[in-house]
Structure 1
Amino acid sequence: MYRFFIRRPVTSWMLMFSFILLGLYSYFNIPIDRLPNVDFPTVTISTTYNGADAQTVDAVVTRQIEDELATISGIEYIASSSYYGTSRISVVFSLEKDVDVAAQEVRDAVQRAYGRMPIGVDPPVVRKVDTSGVPVFVMLLHSKTADYQTLAYYADKLIRRDVERIYGVGEVDLGGFRDNVLWVRINPEKLWARGLTPSDVAQVVQNNLLNSPAGSIYGTQRDYVLRLYGKPEKPEDLGLSSLPNGLQLRDVAKVYFGEDEKRGMARFMGEQAIVIVVYKQSNANTVQVVDAVKKKMEEWNKRLPAGMRLDYTFDASIFIKDSVRAAIEEIVMGSFLTAVVVYLFLGSLRVTFVPVFAIPVALLGTIFFLYIKGDSLNTFTLLAMAVAVGIVIDDAIVVLESIFRRAQEGLNPLEAAELGTRIVIFALLASTASLIVVFLPVLFLKGVIGKFFSGFVFTLIVAIAISYLVSLSFTPMATARLVGVSHENKFMRAYAKFEALFDKALLWSLRHKLFVIVISLVTAVLGFFLFQKTKKEFFPVVDEGRFLVRFETPIGSSFDFTEQKTREIEAILRRNPYVDRFGVAMGQGVAGRPDVNGGMGFVYLKSGKRPHMTVIMNQLRNEFSKLRDVRVSVESAPISLGLGRQTDVQYVVKGPYLEELQRIADAYMRDFGNRPGFKDVDTDLRLNEPQVRIIPDRQKLADLGIDVKAVSDTLQILFGKYKVGTYEVGSESYNAYIKADEDFIKEVENLKKVYVRAKNGNLVPLYDVVQIQQGPGYHVINRFNRQYSFTLYANLSGSKDLASALSEVESWLQANLPPGYSYERVGQAREFARSFQGFGFSVLVALLGVYMILASLFESYRLPFIVLLMVPLAAMGAFGLLSLTGTSLSVPSYFGIILLIGIIVRDAVLFIERILQLEKEGVSSREAILQARRERLRPILMTTLTVVAALLPVALGLTAGSEFRKPLAVAIIGGILSGLPLSLFLLPVLYEVFTILKKKTQREHRA
């Protein structure tokens, strides 16, 4: 192939330009996002059963659905929570499961379960979850002067509907929003004074909120469809409805159209607000969607009434733009530094252009393949490109240097190009194959990490393949026309002196083999020691300038009490000098909450010079810890629903009895609440809810002819927000509810004023037929894989290591869980264990693959072991630099170590392959080692230094989002810097030892 391109330069140029043009077109059209578009096969089921306590919801809703779900294959786990009036179930499937198939199977199972549920349970809502389930933009409509109804009208009827029409927008949800409803608020004392019950009122309202078909008239010339429009046009008209005793509804109840009960609210910087949360469609471009929404926001700010304004508390595009810009800057700077390294060795800008040209060709060509694959430019693919800068140039450097050496031996340019390429072609093939084989096992990693990093691996493999093509097409063609152009400079003269010194050092090493081997082993031991000291975590914390504040007041706290605590939290946020803006939401509907005793705040930090985000988060934790009667945690904002709540430690504890789980949860809070290295310690177990238990006296009910359902209906209508239909205003439909008036439902003592109707028609006091007890109840009942459960959480502080923290928690659980109780890792802790187990397997498979390639290349079973021995020694260098720079050992750094295998093997292959060539030509082993090292020294130094130069901007970590990219760069640089002397000195020593042992074995066989 290379001969064809050497003799057809125009064809070679056209091939290169095709990659560049296709890449440029793709760059301007490819989606830009933070994360790859990954479907997490997770399906959620939400069911409402108004008025039912957690135990009832668990028994008649949650368990019924779980029993049917158990028949579906491919489920990893089922997690459920039963609250007052609400059941929420998450079904998480294995990542190989098709999410659409999973969702349909869940719908079928839910439909079967719904048929067994009692009347009054709303149809369950089934939804599938994907990465678009994370909001891309959150804005708040706020005002100091406007009333809530005005804010709600603008947010719901105007702004939301306008935003929903934007291309790429998926859903738009409202937080802190209370819709209008038709209220029928009963005055119980008037009701019973007139001999009526709440059921009488409910029946009358239902009978009069009715639009229905009324048949047809079939005329001789025309047919007519009859429809009854029975719903009143005004609330007052419903009040005219007749009750059984001849009175009207308005005589015993207030009928009006107004806002729903205030069980949730939102504020922006202390002002009343409504949150508008924008989600994108799964394949939409986040940056384009957010830019369109922000443009719409600016338009609305010009049209809103005075004193009303839209502001945002979350903009996903900012971090994406900053990260993309930073990644491109790092790629450009890395490319420049790489070019400088090449220029210093080659001494000519024209010659330097030849290998450096591989960088834009490979990167733009890779973008083209990402585009046609349907992928995006995201955190992972851009990181791969930053790494590829130093790798894609290496093949071209090796070819160029080999051609120049042949030209120096007196060959004409075309002959030098052909011979120089032919000499290294098999070494290039082996090194390229080794780099690709190293990453192939990563494609089979299970879990979230495997899904996210598949784009990283694809990008690197394509870039490496294109660079190999460039090195065998454009590089020999261009080099053949530039042979003899380079000029000697000071660096080249200094390098000539270095080469002479190196020859002496290598000879000394070959004469003192034991010393070299011992020094290498000591270095490895030191690296292993540093590895033990290196902090380990799942992902490094990235300073995005935003984070979450979750808070919760004691179970049973009123809305007003929780709102008071919310204002105290807001005051602390307002005092912090680094907080730019914040919004808070509390009560029902916030992050799926069915209760009012908690909420969440979204905090945006000021740009410019300030402490790292984690420092500010710790400052706020200290301030929040001084608040009483409220538990506050400060957490990083989630990057994906695939990882769940963003805490370092997450375990599910399962068992048969809730009371025992409560004891375990209390012990965990007590033992870890103030333990050094742990913060934001929490559990989701909430059992002790103030509850009034109403226990029927069966004998008295039977004597009076009253059934339990009559008691239940009476209580649900008065206290439970009983739905009786819908009410239309123009083209809008609103729910209609019956409930006792606000004063009546505030006091438990008013249960003494409740009556039920006996069989003879008389009203009987409720107290005569039931026992009423006050005591603790269940606020929420959690289940995991159909067992009672709770989840424990914690974040880590200081230098606390994730691996040791997980071990510490697991040791505690093993010591404190009684027989019949067990635990499982979930969330980030689950992925941490799964990913690093997968990494270990990937490394072993990668080493096996590399061994097979080297064995085929060298035609030897033993020789590859010499090359592979360099890998663990170089890895120790990676661990050492990670430790010395204070960089954690995390998922990115592990990927750096995997990539390091290919880089180290590449340099070793260049050396060993040339030795074998020379030995075949009759050169002695010692002379072959010295000559091969002399010939390969410059390309190995150049390829090593270009990788370091390319990754240096990334390793310095000076740009947005660099916390994620830095560990990978540091690991590779550390491994290369330790691997370079190993490759230069230890490898020749080991090869000579191998040769001596081989000859000794051959002599013994001959003897």
Structure 2
Amino acid sequence: MKITKLSVFRPIAMGMVILFMLIIGAVSVRNTPVDLFPDLTFPVAAVTVTYEGASPEEVEKLLATPIENMMGTIPNVESVSSVSRTGGALIIVSYTWGTDMDFASLKMREQLDAIRDQLPSDAPKPRVLRFNPNDLPIVRLGIQAPDGDLVSAKKLVENEIKPQLDSVEGVAAVTIEGGTEKVVNISVNPTILKDHGLTIDQLRQILAGENITLPSGKIKDKGLEFPIRVFGEFDSITELKQLSIPTQKGVVQLDNLVDIVETTASTDQISYLNGKPSIGISILKQSGENTVSVANKIENKIERMELSEEVQLETIFNQAKFIKQSIRAVLINMILGSFLAAGVLYLFLRNMRSTFIIGFSIPISVMTAFIFMYFSGQTLNILTLGGLALGVGMIVDNSIVILESIYRLKEKGMALKEAAIKGTTEVGGAVIASTLTTVVVFLPIIFVDGLAAQLFKPLALSVSFALASSLVTALIIVPLLSSNLLTKEQKKVAVTSRFLTFQRRYVYLLRKAIRYPKRLIVGTIILLLISLSAIPFIGTEFLPAQDQSYVNINVELPPGSASETTFKTTEQINRALDSIAGIDLYYVTIGGSNDFSIQAGSNNNKAMYSILLQPISDRDKSDTQVAEQIRNKLKGIEEAEISVQASDSGLSDSPVSLEISGPDLRTLEAISTDIRNEISKVDGIREIESNYETGNPLIEIEVNRKIAASYGLTSAQVAQSIESATTGKVATAFNRSGNQVDVRVQVDPSTLESVKDLEDLQIEAPSGELIELGKITEIKRGNGPSQINRTDRLREIRVTASILDRDLGNVVNDVKESVKNNVSLPPGYEVSFGGQNQQMNDAFFKLGGALALAIVLIYMVMAGQFESFFYPFIIMFSIPLTVIGILFGLLVTGQPFGVGSLVGILILTGIVVNNAIVLVDYINQLKQSGMHTSIAIVRAGKARLRPILMTALTTILGLIPLMIGIGEGTEIQQPMAIVIVFGLTFGTLISLLFIPVIYLQFDRLKERRKERKKQVDL
């Protein structure tokens, strides 16, 4: 064949364009941020306000109520809830999805300014906070203290490790948890001080006055000016002990008056790593930074740190690790799917050049999709890459149809270039229509809000980008490659005898179906009804659980339990954890603060475990199974409420959540107790918890204002004196080798072990007189503080639970039935269900509407393509047939129907009509050439059988790895893959017979109407 300059230049030019696109795609991949999920904006903001000393009831009345009322007037507010505790309140404002949270936060601040005069004048200004998942730590580290020395370990973290981590590019903040410092404790016996005519405050003032270095003027001598400085700082504890204290009995050495001990400062938070004292480090990334990139830089910095061998630094949590594992798994599935699709092509085509032409469309389309993703601001995450993995099999569909058309014409003896042009033109319209029907199904998601929409919009975009790229590839690159790479001498595509046998059987069945259409139609309807009967056996869920190799344990002892008691409980838990296989390390924090910013009372009765499991490949149990094993091991631990949680992605609420609302807290508590007892009997329920807190035991001191005033004392002065005596105050500090050591003065704890000791406590009046506390106050034991929860201005108690080995929908139905039949509600009280069940129902409703709109759009696209309302109506019959495969697939795989399944149906709706479009389009072409309808149907079915099977099998086999769920992070894509694989399999097989029969029946009906019309006209 003579090759002209033009025929040579065009392939070279196109090759340069393809190479350029691949390079740009690779650069886009490299520069696109990598994350676990798409960027999420939760429509939630909060107001925090403190009011020292106020009881929960006072906080509710004076702070929470007026703020709630004002927040409820802001546009787009969905609900307002609050938590009132001793000393402050937290008001949470939930907005409708899609609200501009920057504007909403600004509006909240304006409303707070408007009611500032209604709030107590001595309460600080309320603060507005926004909830952002990016504010959570991306890396958590645990550092074991050498020989249990938390003092030196904390110095190491503060002086060496933290500064280096702060310098890492992309790090926003580094916080330290746990640890302690050296302190000098001066324990005072009030009786001894009283005998010497001293008070604690006077002793503290003496210590502060002696430990100073002050400038003291200046003098001139011989023309020179000398500044004067008095040095009086303590250099050591020995000097402190030898300090002379003036008393009524003369000058007494300090250590003869008090006990002086150098020790470690008490702390509210104690951390242990694998049972050994440790310090925790939490690292947050800057907004907009790449999580994986920042985490990698942190790891590199840690590797370069020169730490002693005694220092053991462990990574407790690294979000980037799961991200990389998940994305690696999705990429592997994508590559496996590509090879399976290419294998199908070769089996049908039996020609390497043909397989290369179609297979080459995969990397071109994927790389082009990456370019679109980069410029549209998407991130590489398990959903966008999962979308590409879902689209791998669909990417080659257009190319297959184009190439098959070219081959068919070439087999008739047409020249390669002419066959490429005519073959592309012949099926180009059908290819464009089939691609548009697949892409258009994602358009309604734009109008859907909520968490599900935020998650799956990026997936829809990635699939749409890939399919749009594949359409351009099929219409331009495939004809070009076909006209230049295929050999002219090749007369026909090699077809196996097995396929010819299958083709003959199909043609036989198709003719039989046309001859007896009622049998096929009735049989298909019966099969559809049988499949619908499986619905009760298929459960429902919101989002599938993800195995992130991470388990949390929350431990709560009775209120008032000391940290020593909590520590003993954790030792029992540690022994149980050591006996469980699959655990890599565990980190526990005792006491400290929780996520609630308004703290009241001590949290010494609480402990929280972070357990890192071994990788999935190294253990034979899932994270939920390990959690259940831990749960069973810890059942024997008494007087402790222990909850174990796994597979928590942080994107959804508790699986089961019941909100009990009403006016009286005691009645709410009684109802919540009844509900907890009842739902605990429901199969699959685990970890029943309540947000109601009974409060910690405390000592209530009521000041007799009249008597106190006679001594010149106020309630505030009495409170300060008591705090100074019991908790102590730092009087001064001295430097030792560059480190500051605090000197704390407090009453000897051994002298304050009962209410009687507290009554005998000496308080100094402004006149200098010492008064026993019991003379001016009434001291008694009490219970508090507690907290008051409200939602939409009604008091509320929330009961939550997790589930195991059952689907969400059936568990919630059983819980509703149990509560309805066994829990009686007084007038004015009600129980509502929230949590994942509410999220699931909301997502089902909105995505169901999107599915209905997608079907309408598909019909409109086909109507425009066929320029008829008749043929698109016939093609739409292929959609309900997929229900047979969908329900069968969910039933045999044991997969509940969830949001992922619904999105899979949405995608499937756009795919399944493609085969019918190609078939009906060719039938119409044959009819236009003068062929009878029955003959045209058989001829079109035989001609289009191969491309239909090839496109269906490439899509199906391309999704097999995702359907199996190979690797980490594939749980979200798995339901979609199951729905598409089984739905497309059954839909394709039935559509090959059912659609032609429906076409024939409607065509006959159409002809009869024409005949009647002719007769009427005559």
With the length of structure 2 as denominator, give the TM-score of the two structures: 0.87
1:48-98 Cα deviation digits (max 9, x unpaired)? 666665555555555565455445444444444344556444444434233
**What is the one-letter code of the residue matched to 2:284?**
Y
Secondary structure of the structure 1 residue equivalent to 2:31: coil
1:275-303 Cα deviation digits (max 9, x unpaired)? 11222223222222222222332333x42
Q: 1:310 aligned to 305, 308, 313, which one?
A: 313
> What residue number does 2:892 align with?
884
1:458-488 Cα deviation digits (max 9, x unpaired)? 1011111111111111112222332656577
Kindly indicate whether residue 921 of structure 2 is the aligned counterpart of residue 913 of structure 1.
yes
> What residue number does 2:29 align with?
27
Residue 616 of structure 1: CA displacement?
A: 1.6
Distance, in Å, in 2 between the alignment partners of 1:241 and 1:64 is: 57
**What is the one-letter code of the residue matched to 2:315?**
Y
> What residue number does 2:99 align with?
97
> What residue number does 1:549 align with?
553
Q: 2:268 aligned to 251, 257, 263, which one?
A: 263
Mapped contact 1:5–1:11 kept (Cα < 8 A): no
Provide closer, same or farther for how the CA distance between residues 229 and 447 of structure 1 changes in structure 2, counting only shifts above 3 A: farther
Mapped contact 1:351–1:486 kept (Cα < 8 A): no
Q: 1:661 aligned to 668, 671, 677, which one?
A: 668
Distance, in Å, in 2 between the alignment partners of 1:117 and 1:105 is: 18
Kindly indicate whether residue 625 of structure 2 is the aligned counterpart of residue 623 of structure 1.
no
Residue 864 of structure 1: CA displacement?
A: 3.0
Distance, in Å, in 2 between the alignment partners of 1:741 and 1:102 is: 52
Provide closer, same or farther for how the CA distance between residues 46 and 410 of structure 1 changes in structure 2, counting only shifts above 3 A: same
Worse-matched range after superposition: 707-716 or 342-351: 707-716
Q: What aligned pairs does 1:601-750 form with structure 2 within 5 A after superposition? A: 601-607=609-615, 608-636=618-646, 638-640=648-650, 642-643=651-652, 647-696=654-703, 707-719=714-726, 740-743=747-750, 746-750=753-757
Distance, in Å, in 1 between the alignment partners of 2:64 and 2:742 is: 25
Q: 2:930 aligned to 922, 926, 932, which one?
A: 922
Worse-matched range after superposition: 497-506 or 475-484: 475-484
Secondary structure of the structure 2 residue equivalent to 1:476: helix
**What is the one-letter code of the residue matched to 1:516?**
L
> What residue number does 1:472 align with?
475
Number of equivalent positions = 988
1:136-192 Cα deviation digits (max 9, x unpaired)? 222111035141111111123321221111112222222224467898877655677
Distance, in Å, in 2 between the alignment partners of 1:22 and 1:263 is: 55
**What is the one-letter code of the residue matched to 2:540?**
K
**What is the one-letter code of the residue matched to 2:628?**
N
> What residue number does 2:143 align with?
141
> What residue number does 2:867 align with?
859
Q: 1:273 aligned to 270, 278, 296, which one?
A: 278
Distance, in Å, in 2 between the alignment partners of 1:931 and 1:265 is: 79
> What residue number does 2:222 align with?
none
Superposition RMSD in Å: 4.1
Q: What aligned pairs does 1:557-596 form with structure 2 within 5 A after superposition? A: 557-591=561-595, 595-596=603-604
Kindly indicate whether residue 333 of structure 2 is the aligned counterpart of residue 330 of structure 1.
yes
Secondary structure of the structure 1 residue equivalent to 2:909: helix
> What residue number does 1:221 align with?
none
Kindly indicate whether residue 402 of structure 2 is the aligned counterpart of residue 409 of structure 1.
no
Residue 944 of structure 1: CA displacement?
A: 0.3
Worse-matched range after superposition: 664-673 or 265-274: 664-673
Q: What aligned pairs does 1:978-993 form with structure 2 within 5 A after superposition? A: 978-993=986-1001
Provide closer, same or farther for how the CA distance between residues 20 and 729 of structure 1 changes in structure 2, counting only shifts above 3 A: farther
Distance, in Å, in 1 between the alignment partners of 2:721 and 2:61 is: 22
Distance, in Å, in 2 between the alignment partners of 1:247 and 1:919 is: 121
Distance, in Å, in 2 between the alignment partners of 1:229 and 1:1005 is: 120
Kindly indicate whether residue 161 of structure 2 is the aligned counterpart of residue 159 of structure 1.
yes
1:845-879 Cα deviation digits (max 9, x unpaired)? 11111122222233333543332232232033112
Distance, in Å, in 1 between the alignment partners of 2:341 and 2:232 is: 77
Distance, in Å, in 2 between the alignment partners of 1:934 and 1:728 is: 94
> Which structure would you say has the larger Rg?
2
Distance, in Å, in 2 between the alignment partners of 1:971 and 1:985 is: 22
Provide closer, same or farther for how the CA distance between residues 986 and 86 of structure 1 changes in structure 2, counting only shifts above 3 A: same
Q: 1:516 aligned to 504, 520, 524, which one?
A: 520
Mapped contact 1:348–1:485 kept (Cα < 8 A): no
Worse-matched range after superposition: 620-629 or 31-40: 31-40
**What is the one-letter code of the residue matched to 1:794?**
A
Mapped contact 2:764–2:770 kept (Cα < 8 A): yes
Distance, in Å, in 2 between the alignment partners of 1:528 and 1:472 is: 40
> What residue number does 2:299 align with?
294
Identity over the aligned pairs, expressed in percent? 27
Provide closer, same or farther for how the CA distance between residues 783 and 299 of structure 1 changes in structure 2, counting only shifts above 3 A: farther
Distance, in Å, in 2 between the alignment partners of 1:858 and 1:766 is: 95
Mapped contact 1:347–1:486 kept (Cα < 8 A): no
**What is the one-letter code of the residue matched to 1:782?**
N
Q: What aligned pairs does 1:143-292 form with structure 2 within 5 A after superposition? A: 143=145, 145-178=147-180, 260-292=265-297
Residue 991 of structure 1: CA displacement?
A: 1.4
Q: 2:605 aligned to 591, 597, 612, which one?
A: 597
Provide closer, same or farther for how the CA distance between residues 242 and 372 of structure 1 changes in structure 2, counting only shifts above 3 A: farther
Provide closer, same or farther for how the CA distance between residues 514 and 35 of structure 1 changes in structure 2, counting only shifts above 3 A: same
Distance, in Å, in 2 between the alignment partners of 1:110 and 1:556 is: 36
Provide closer, same or farther for how the CA distance between residues 759 and 730 of structure 1 changes in structure 2, counting only shifts above 3 A: closer
Mapped contact 1:443–1:457 kept (Cα < 8 A): no
Provide closer, same or farther for how the CA distance between residues 197 and 787 of structure 1 changes in structure 2, counting only shifts above 3 A: farther
Distance, in Å, in 1 between the alignment partners of 2:566 and 2:630 is: 19
Distance, in Å, in 1 between the alignment partners of 2:86 and 2:842 is: 35
Kindly indicate whether residue 442 of structure 2 is the aligned counterpart of residue 432 of structure 1.
no
Distance, in Å, in 2 between the alignment partners of 1:189 and 1:488 is: 111
Secondary structure of the structure 2 residue equivalent to 1:915: helix
Worse-matched range after superposition: 86-95 or 246-255: 246-255
Provide closer, same or farther for how the CA distance between residues 97 and 254 of structure 1 changes in structure 2, counting only shifts above 3 A: farther
Worse-matched range after superposition: 548-557 or 51-60: 51-60
1:487-519 Cα deviation digits (max 9, x unpaired)? 778753322232222111101011221221122
Provide closer, same or farther for how the CA distance between residues 585 and 109 of structure 1 changes in structure 2, counting only shifts above 3 A: farther
1:811-837 Cα deviation digits (max 9, x unpaired)? 555654433334555553442222222
Secondary structure of the structure 1 residue equivalent to 2:627: helix
Provide closer, same or farther for how the CA distance between residues 102 and 731 of structure 1 changes in structure 2, counting only shifts above 3 A: farther
Q: 2:798 aligned to 779, 791, 811, which one?
A: 791
Secondary structure of the structure 2 residue equivalent to 1:298: helix
Residue 10 of structure 1: CA displacement?
A: 3.7
Provide closer, same or farther for how the CA distance between residues 233 and 973 of structure 1 changes in structure 2, counting only shifts above 3 A: farther
> What residue number does 2:948 align with?
940
> What residue number does 1:218 align with?
none
Q: Which runs of 5+ in 1 are unaligned?
A: 215-225
Secondary structure of the structure 2 residue equivalent to 1:963: coil
Residue 807 of structure 1: CA displacement?
A: 3.0
Secondary structure of the structure 1 residue equivalent to 2:972: helix
1:880-921 Cα deviation digits (max 9, x unpaired)? 112102223222222211111011111111122222333333
Worse-matched range after superposition: 79-88 or 457-466: 79-88
Mapped contact 2:351–2:494 kept (Cα < 8 A): no
Worse-matched range after superposition: 449-458 or 753-762: 753-762
Kindly indicate whether residue 20 of structure 2 is the aligned counterpart of residue 18 of structure 1.
yes
**What is the one-letter code of the residue matched to 2:633?**
E
Distance, in Å, in 2 between the alignment partners of 1:931 and 1:180 is: 91
Kindly indicate whether residue 848 of structure 2 is the aligned counterpart of residue 840 of structure 1.
yes
Q: 1:443 aligned to 446, 465, 487, which one?
A: 446
Mapped contact 1:330–1:953 kept (Cα < 8 A): yes
Mapped contact 1:33–1:378 kept (Cα < 8 A): yes
Distance, in Å, in 1 between the alignment partners of 2:658 and 2:253 is: 54
**What is the one-letter code of the residue matched to 2:529?**
V
> What residue number does 2:3 align with?
none
